[in-house]
């Protein structure tokens, strides 16, 4: 193509620890954690439904807390412990939430499901929900 006059900013070496495995990526500073997972690491279990923090499909656990990865720049999470849907099952055994989602058919197309499950895992860790209504309220960031 013609002359390049819009140079891209310098790439930033970033160490992402995902599901216990360390990856070092050279990322443009604007790369979201979501795009780093999906486009750079082929971890496509984390979904993009809006890219604007409106749907929760991109929910992952960062240091145990649920976070919208589309609103998180990857470079900000250097060395943080990130768990995605791919990391919830241990040694081939599903996480109890994953099994419960299958048993109760808590999904159809499955696209919001990884976000729902990661969010539910975060919710359980928070320990705030006491009844079904509180669970509904605290799961309402996941469409």
Partner 1 sequence: MNGYVGTPTSRVDGRAKVTGAAKYAGEFTADRLVHGFVVEATIPRGRIAQLDTSEALKVAGVLDVLTHANRPSLADKDDAWKDEVAPEGSPFRPLYDDTIKFNGQPIALVVAEEWATAKFAATLVRIDYEQAEFATDLEAERGGASEMDKPHKPRGDAAGALAAAALRHEADYLIPTEHHNPMELYATTTVWEGDGKLTVYDKTQGVQNVQKFLCGVFDKKPEDIRVLSPYVGGAFGSGLRPQYQVVLATLAALALKRSVRVVLTRQQMYGLGYRPMTIERVALGAKSDGTLDAVTHEAIAVTSRYEDFARNDTGWAEQLYSSPNSSFSHKLVHLDVSTPSDMRAPGAASGVCALECAMDELAVALNLDPIELRLKCYSDRDQSENLPYTSKQLRQCYARGAEAFGWGRRDPAPRSMRDGKELVGWGMATGVWEALQMPVAVRIVLTSNGHAEVSCAASDIGTGTYTIVAQVAADALGLPIENISVRLADSTLPQAPVEGGSWMAASSAHAVLGAAEDIRQELARHAQAMPSSPLAGVDAQDIILAEGTIAKAGERGRAISIADAMRYGKLERIEKQKLNEFPEDKSHARNTHSAVFAEVKVDEELGVIRVTRVVSAVAAGRILNTKTGRSQIMGGVVWGIGMALHEETVMDHRFGRIMNANIAEYHIPVNADVHDIDVIFVDEPDTHINKLGVKGLGEIGIVGVPAAIANAVYHATGKRIRRFPITLDKLLG
- 28 touches partner 1 (CB under 8 A): yes
Residue 90 interacts, among ligand FES, partner 1, none and using kind-specific CB cut-offs from 5 to 8 Å, with: none
User: Euclidean distance between the first and final Cα of the chain, in Å?
Assistant: 42
Query: Rule CB under 6 A: is residue 70 a binding residue for ligand FES?
Result: yes
Q: Which of 16, 18, 27, 57 binds ligand FES (CB under 6 A)?
A: 57
- Distance between CA atoms of residues 20 and 130, nearest Å: 31
Among 68, 83, 98, 119, binds ligand FES (CB under 6 A): 68
For residues 59 and 66, the answer to whether their CB atoms sit within 8 Å is yes
Cα dihedral 110/112/117/122 (nearest 10): 170
- By CB under 8 A, is residue 108 in contact with partner 1? yes
Q: Is 56 in the site for ligand FES (CB under 6 A)?
A: yes
> How far apart are alpha carbons 85 and 107 in whole angstroms?
15
CB atoms within 10 A of CB 20: 9
Residues of the shown chain interacting with partner 1 in the complex, contacts defined by CB under 8 A = 1-8, 28, 30-31, 35, 38-39, 42-52, 54-55, 57, 84-86, 88-89, 94, 98, 101-103, 105, 107-114, 117, 133, 135-137, 139-143
């Amino acid at each position: 193509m013609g002359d390049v006059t819009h140079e891209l900013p310098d790439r930033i070496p970033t160490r992402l620890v995902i599901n216990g495995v360390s990856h070092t990526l050279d990322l443009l500073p604007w790369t979201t954690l979501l795009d780093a997972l999906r486009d750079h690491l082929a971890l496509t279990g984390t979904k993009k439904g809006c890219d604007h923090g409106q749907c929760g499909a991109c929910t992952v656990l960062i240091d145990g807390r649920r976070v919208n990865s589309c609103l998180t720049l990857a470079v900000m999470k250097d060395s943080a412990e990130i768990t995605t849907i791919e990391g919830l099952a241990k040694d081939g055994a599903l996480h109890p939430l994953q099994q419960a989602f299958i048993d109760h058919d808590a999904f159809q197309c499955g696209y919001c499901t990884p976000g729902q499950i990661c969010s539910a895992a975060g919710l359980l860790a928070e320990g705030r929900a006491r009844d079904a209504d509180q669970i509904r309220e605290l799961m309402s960031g996941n469409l």
